[in-house]
């Protein structure tokens, strides 16, 4: 299972490889990660992929 935050120039789309019918638009990357972690926590409580991605992204952002 992977929840992905897909950032392009015009939009940020959050989607899940296990939930083909699910997808949400985010206004910024931080919100995208929040949506991903929320989805993962509710539908894939044994997964830490989105959580780990959010953590790595926050570390990268803090380092910049």
- Find out whether 62 and 54 touch, Cβ atoms under 8 Å: no
C-alpha neighbours within 13 Å on the C-beta side of residue 63: 6
**Which lies closer to Zn ion via its Cβ, residue 25 or residue 59?**
25
Residues 6+ positions from 34 with CB-CB distance below 8 Å:
26, 54
> Does the footprint of Zn ion cover residue 14 (CB under 5 A)?
no
> Binding Zn ion by CB under 5 A: which of 5, 12, 14, 16?
16
> Binding Zn ion by CB under 5 A: which of 19, 25, 41, 59?
19
Interface contacts to Zn ion, rule CB under 5 A:
16, 18-19, 43
């Amino acid at each position: 299972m992977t929840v992905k935050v897909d950032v392009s120039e015009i939009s940020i789309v959050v989607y899940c490889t296990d939930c083909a019918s699910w997808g949400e638009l985010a206004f910024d990357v931080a919100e995208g990660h929040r949506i991903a972690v929320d989805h993962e926590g509710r539908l894939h409580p044994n997964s830490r992929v989105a959580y780990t991605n959010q953590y790595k992204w926050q570390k990268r952002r803090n380092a910049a």
